[in-house]
Amino acid sequence: MVAEPAERADRRFADRRDAGRQLADRLKAYAHRDDVTVLALPRGGVPVAAEIARVLDAPLDILVVRKLGLPGQPEYAMGAIASGDVRVLNTQVLQQLAISYSAVDLVTRAETRELHRREKLYRGDRPMPPIAGRQVILVDDGMATGASMRAGAQALREMRPARIIVAVPVSSRETCHLISQDADEVLCARTPERFRSVGQWYERFEQTTDEEVRCLLATIPLSVHSL
């Protein structure tokens, strides 16, 4: 199910926290439940998700996603890995280009090291929170092509959640509908006709720092470790 925008498509968000509060207002059906987890795609998705988690009284954590680029063409994705040691491969691409699984494994090992480095940076020694059987709200600060979100949702599906709810402040209209193939519910607060970039729909769109990510994960009242 794709939720259509309730606000004017040309209205910009003040910043990521403002965007998170507006999304949270439309996610109140998931408030104060003991089966909801909010996961953010770092870094930009974390301030948005933190506001959602705060309003819904839900635990917050991250889902780190790393694209698996083709050997020699790293910008072209043949799959992705995500937190929880999940790997999703595009078998059609692998077959069409005759990419061997040994080549895939080589790229996977390199990207896994970087994924674990980022998880360590943001989460410390805390493990990935329990996902199976839970209502998971997967958040980013916007979607252009939606490649990272699609990879995250596909990887998340491997963890057997009860439901995946993708929530973003702004998205191209095409991407918002495309992501519905990978999620049970999609909430795109803005789907402007003249979409060029995510940043154009924010008054302030400074880069989210690693320190801000760590701080937000540490200050959400409900810890994932109390689940």
Helices 210-219 and 45-56 pack at an angle, to 10 degrees, of 10
pLDDT in tens, 157-190: 989 999 999 999 999 999 999 999 999 999 999 9
User: Strands (DSSP E) along the chain, which ranges?
Assistant: 2-3, 36-40, 60-62, 65-70, 73-82, 86-89, 135-139, 163-170, 185-190
Binned at pLDDT 50, 70 and 90, residue 97 comes out as very high
Q: How far apart are CA 214 and CA 116, in angstroms?
A: 15
Distance CA 203, CA 206 (A): 10
| pLDDT greater than 60 at residue 118 | yes
Calculate mean pLDDT across residues 10-30.
Answer: 95
Burial class, 102, CB count within 10 angstroms (exposed 0-12 / middle 13-18 / buried 19+): exposed
pLDDT for residue 2: 59
Is the distance from CB of 192 to CB of 170 less than 8 angstroms?
yes
pLDDT score, position 9: 54
160: left (phi over 0), alpha (psi -120 to 50) or beta: left
Confidence band for 127, pLDDT divided at 50, 70 and 90: confident
139, burial (CB in 10 Å: exposed 0-12, middle 13-18, buried 19+) = buried
| pLDDT band, very low/low/confident/very high, at 61 (cuts 50, 70, 90) | very high
Number of residues that make up the chain: 227
Backbone torsion region of residue 84, taken as left when φ is above 0, otherwise alpha when ψ lies between -120 and 50, otherwise beta: left
